Amino acid sequence: MTTYFTSDQHIGHANIIRYCDRPVSDLDDMDQMLISRWNETVSAEDEVWVLGDYAMKDYARGLSLLPQLNGTKYLVIGNHERCSPTQRDGHLHLPAYLEAGFTVAVTQAETYLPPVTPDGEELRVLLSHYPYSGESHSQQDRHERFRYRDLGHPLLCGHVHTEWQTQLTPRGSVQVNVGVDQWDFRPVSAAEVHRTILAAAPDDSAVS
């Protein structure tokens, strides 16, 4: 079994094609690309953490497509999810996400990435839709009360789309954007994320 991470599919959101310059002609084309690349990457035995904004606008469309995606799927809720605490009465829509095929749906989580060398160690990472700081198509950070406080831990997130793939915070913490616009529109493996964090970490600091 392999663990993967992804975010920001924005199924049902036609404007994302223009906003992020996605190489598709319309929503049907985008859905087919996202499903095909997911299933080319993920097997039925794998697990995938979706770090938010799986669907937008046409939520029924997004949830109806979820069973076509391989693997066990966990959702870290994004601001555009209908079940998001940023949405009015968002909690009332949580059962629909679980019934559609997400095993869990939470606002934050943490996990361990596997070692990437024979004598290496696991790496604890935080999972959130939001980076410690940063936005997409906006200068001011939104939803600050739903963001982790930067205490020095590596963070996997989405939300920022094409802005950056990795970024160091002022404290030197590594943030990795696992959004589809940064990873060829497919989930990225835990091992690849671990290598990305090690490559981005400052030479004079330990990743913890």
Q: Is 205 within the bounds of a domain?
A: no
The pLDDT of residue 138 is 59
Q: Is 207 within the bounds of a domain?
A: no
> What total number of domains does the chain contain?
1
Domain that holds residue 59: 3-200
3-37 residue pLDDT tens: 999 999 999 999 999 999 999 999 999 999 999 99
Lowest mean pLDDT among 36-50, 122-136, 192-206: 192-206
76-127 residue pLDDT tens: 999 889 888 888 888 898 999 999 999 999 999 999 999 998 889 999 999 9
For the sheet containing 108-113, what is the strand order? 108-113, 123-128, 155-157, 174-177, 166-168
The pLDDT of residue 57 is 82
Residues paired with residue 47 on neighbouring β-strands, in sequence order: 3, 72
CATH of the domain at 38: 3.60.21.10
| Amino acid letter, residue 114 | P
Q: Say what the pTM is.
A: 0.92
Number of H helices, E strands in the chain: 5, 10
